[in-house]
Amino acid sequence: MDIFGRNYETTLMLASKHPFEQVHSPAFSHSGHRSPIEARLGLNGCSLDLLIAHPAPPALPFWAEEQRTLIDVLHAHLTDKDRFILMGDFNTTPWSMSYKNLPGKRVADPRWSRTWHSPIPFLGLPLDHVFIGEGLTPTGFHSGPNVGSDHMPIFTRLALDPSCEAGPDQAGLAL
């Protein structure tokens, strides 16, 4: 889709050093043209659900509606899951109405994680987020350097809850 000279189609990619049990793009009805990617990792007998999403920016009314719909669908989809990671460029800030319906707990304080940068120093917005379910604990988070995109990469480390007996090389996850 080309609006205002910008292409808003998106490609999502998911990679892991741990094997995936399944990977698919859920066919959420009414979620617009931007389908998320969902994957399940098996780690020491525990399952971990990963979802990557990139809703449309709310620049036009129908994109704003698409964004709200996808966020609502993600919330309903993850309601009954304990161990999940939801991440992506949500094109929404922590003070927006759409943000308040994102499921889970946000990793890191959004006031200190501007991920969409501005050419004006000290300006930018936290549009990229990582949310986690009850079975995970954040142990680190930071925004990366400018890599030539209008967004900066984000890095987080997560620990699985103690009920998942981790081996020496699987004590935590790095995203």
* pLDDT per residue rounded down to tens, the chain (175 residues): 444 444 445 555 677 777 888 887 776 655 455 678 888 988 877 888 999 888 888 888 888 888 888 888 888 888 888 889 999 888 888 888 888 888 888 887 766 677 877 777 677 788 889 999 988 999 988 888 888 888 888 888 888 888 776 554 444 555 5
3-class state of residue 110 by DSSP: helix
Q: How far is CA 140 from CA 8, 82, 144, in A?
A: 31, 20, 13
3-class state of residue 175 by DSSP: coil
Q: Which pTM value belongs to this model?
A: 0.80
Q: Judge whether 151 and 10 are in contact, CB under 8 Å.
A: no
Determine the Cα–Cα distance for residues 13 and 105; give it in Å rounded to an integer. 23
